[in-house]
């Protein structure tokens, strides 16, 4: 379909900015509206290269503001929504669950209501695409993979809020025939990720020769996906999925935190011309995250078989590209680690 009016929420954040860049550059006949509250995680610098594109508009606003959302839908008449805006950091959700309830649950319901009321049952060529996480499935033991049929079993306030929002999206599909798709993705990494998450935090600390706080024994496992491959998957699902489908997205790439951290340390030592082993000395085992999920691993065979999607880079290629980006964009890193981030870091890590 040509001339779509797509509302992307959370487009100034990490994944959202890569999604926006891809859509703006690839689909000149679409208009992409980016609605973002610019919380600590939203950064207009992430989109500097597309901000003047004719098919792109930025709106600063909060998805918890019901009146604003209703006004935007009636003024712009979005035919599609790609909903990424969220509070996204597990550690922050442990400190302040209500912020996650407000944005991730209430904010999602505001968008669903506005979309439902605008189109009032006439949903032809309309789509509400909800971006979710593999964390809704809870934790795995040493064996097995999350499939689209795995039962929801969230363990953190963050994952409980995302699970709830997924349920609401499905419920609106059943109750009001709202046309939706949902995808549940594993851990992303890459350029523009806020340095509270493992990889960018540790890159930042290695540059500054600060301790690398590994939670517990470091034997927790995640399945890592390069963010640009997630953006490609979102594009594919948006354009090719049947309605009311769920897709799991993953990197086919499980690694224990401690092994990842050691790999990162060695890459950084090489790039910073430090003696190999220097950064590994910064590894510091700290108190574990409460309710820490032991292992996530995605069975991404459905998206591979149905839509022909697969990751384009290996973990080693992606990690090298990521480190290069952070080293080349030191100013970006300095800008986001100034201000209130410093007090969060001090309070959380006490390091």
Q: Helix 315-328 to helix 257-271 angle, to the nearest 10 degrees?
A: 50
Binding residue for ligand NAD, selected from 69, 85, 201, 300, defined by CB under 6 A: 85
Among ligand DAU, ligand NAD, none, partner that 154 touches (CB below 5 to 8 angstroms by kind): none
Active-site choice (33, 56, 129, 158) = 158
Q: Which is nearer to ligand NAD, 150 or 279 (CB)?
A: 150
Among ligand DAU, ligand NAD, none, partner that 34 touches (CB below 5 to 8 angstroms by kind): none
Map the footprint of ligand NAD across residues 46-75, applying CB under 6 A.
Answer: 62-64
Q: Is 333 in the site for ligand DAU (CB under 6 A)?
A: no
Under 8 Å between Cβ of 156 and 94: yes
Map the footprint of ligand NAD across residues 119-138, applying CB under 6 A.
Answer: 131, 133
Residue 129 falls in the annotated catalytic set: no
- Closest CA relative to residue 331, chosen from 16, 58, 43: 43
* H, E, C per residue of 57-101: EEEECCCCCHHHHHHHHHHHCCCEEEECCCCCCHHHHHHCHHHHH
- Nearest 5°: phi and psi at 202? -70, -35
β 221-226/254-256 pair status? antiparallel
Separation CA 8–CA 12 (nearest Å):
10
Map the footprint of ligand DAU across residues 231-260, applying CB under 6 A.
Answer: 257
Residue 134 falls in the annotated catalytic set: yes
Q: Is 137 in the site for ligand DAU (CB under 6 A)?
A: no
Q: Please, what's the b/e burial string for 194-212 (b: 16 or more CB within 10 A of its CB; e: otherwise)?
A: bbbbbbbbbbbbbbeebeb
11 Cβ contact partners less than 8 Å away, ≥ 6 residues apart:
17, 19, 20, 32, 34, 35, 36, 47, 58, 84
Map the footprint of ligand DAU across residues 85-104, applying CB under 6 A.
Answer: 88-90
- Closest CA relative to residue 146, chosen from 254, 242, 232: 254
Map the footprint of ligand NAD across residues 142-201, applying CB under 6 A.
Answer: 162, 185, 187-188, 194
What's the min distance (Å) between Cβ of 335 and ligand DAU?
20
- Judged by DSSP in three states, 208 sits in coil
What's the min distance (Å) between Cβ of 88 and ligand DAU?
4
β 246-249/180-185 pair status? parallel
Q: Provide DSSP, 246-274.
A: EEEE--S-EEEHHHHHHHHHHHHHHHTTP
Binding residue for ligand DAU, selected from 62, 135, 166, 229, defined by CB under 6 A: 135
What's the min distance (Å) between Cβ of 3 and ligand NAD?
25
Q: Is 198 in the site for ligand DAU (CB under 6 A)?
A: yes
* Size of residue set near ligand DAU by CB under 6 A: 19
Q: Is 201 in the site for ligand DAU (CB under 6 A)?
A: yes
334 Cβ contact partners less than 8 Å away, ≥ 6 residues apart:
none
Q: Is 197 in the site for ligand DAU (CB under 6 A)?
A: yes
Interaction mask 210-229, ligand DAU, x per CB under 6 A: ---xxx----x-x-------
Q: Is 36 in the site for ligand NAD (CB under 6 A)?
A: yes
Q: Is 194 in the site for ligand DAU (CB under 6 A)?
A: no
CA atoms within 13 A on the CB side of 45: 15
Catalogue the active-site residues. 134-135, 158
Residues in touch with ligand DAU (CB under 6 A): 88-90, 133-135, 186-187, 197-198, 201, 213-215, 220, 222, 257, 289, 296
Kindly list the residues in this chain that would bind ligand NAD in the complex (CB under 6 A): 9-10, 12-16, 36-39, 41-42, 62-64, 84-88, 103, 107, 131, 133, 162, 185, 187-188, 194
């Amino acid at each position: 379909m040509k001339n779509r009016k797509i509302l992307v929420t959370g487009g100034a954040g990490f994944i959202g900015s890569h999604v926006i860049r891809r859509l703006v550059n690839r689909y000149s006949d679409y208009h992409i509206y980016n609605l973002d509250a610019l919380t600590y995680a939203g950064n207009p610098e992430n989109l500097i290269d597309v901000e003047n594109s004719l098919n792109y508009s930025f709106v600063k606003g909060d998805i918890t503001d019901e009146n604003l959302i209703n006004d935007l839908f009636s003024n712009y008449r979005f035919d599609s929504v790609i909903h990424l805006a969220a509070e996204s950091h597990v550690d922050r959700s442990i400190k302040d669950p209500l912020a996650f309830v407000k944005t991730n649950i209430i904010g999602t319901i505001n968008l669903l209501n506005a979309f439902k009321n605008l189109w009032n049952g006439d949903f032809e060529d309309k789509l509400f695409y909800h971006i979710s996480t593999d964390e809704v499935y809870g934790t795995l033991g040493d064996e097995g993979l999350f499939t689209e049929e795995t039962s929801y079993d969230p363990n953190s306030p963050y994952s409980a809020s995302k699970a709830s929002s997924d349920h609401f999206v499905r419920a609106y599909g059943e109750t009001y025939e709202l046309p939706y798709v949902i995808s549940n993705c594993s851990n992303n990494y890459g350029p523009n990720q806020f340095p509270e998450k493992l990889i960018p935090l540790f890159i930042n600390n290695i540059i500054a020769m600060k301790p690398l706080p590994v939670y517990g024994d470091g034997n927790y496992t995640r399945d890592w996906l390069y963010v640009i491959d997630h953006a490609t998957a979102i594009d594919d699902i948006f354009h090719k999925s049947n309605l009311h489908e769920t897709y799991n997205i993953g990197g086919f790439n499980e690694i224990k935190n401690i092994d990842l951290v050691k790999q990162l340390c060695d890459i950084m030592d090489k790039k910073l011309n430090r003696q190999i082993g220097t950064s590994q000395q910064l590894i510091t085992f700290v108190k574990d995250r409460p309710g820490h999920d032991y292992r996530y691993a995605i069975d991404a065979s459905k998206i591979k078989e149905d839509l022909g999607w697969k990751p384009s880079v290996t973990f080693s290629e992606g990690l090298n590209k990521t480190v290069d980006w952070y080293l080349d964009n030191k100013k970006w890193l300095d800008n986001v680690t100034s201000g209130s981030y410093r007090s969060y870091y001090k309070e959380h890590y006490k390091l």
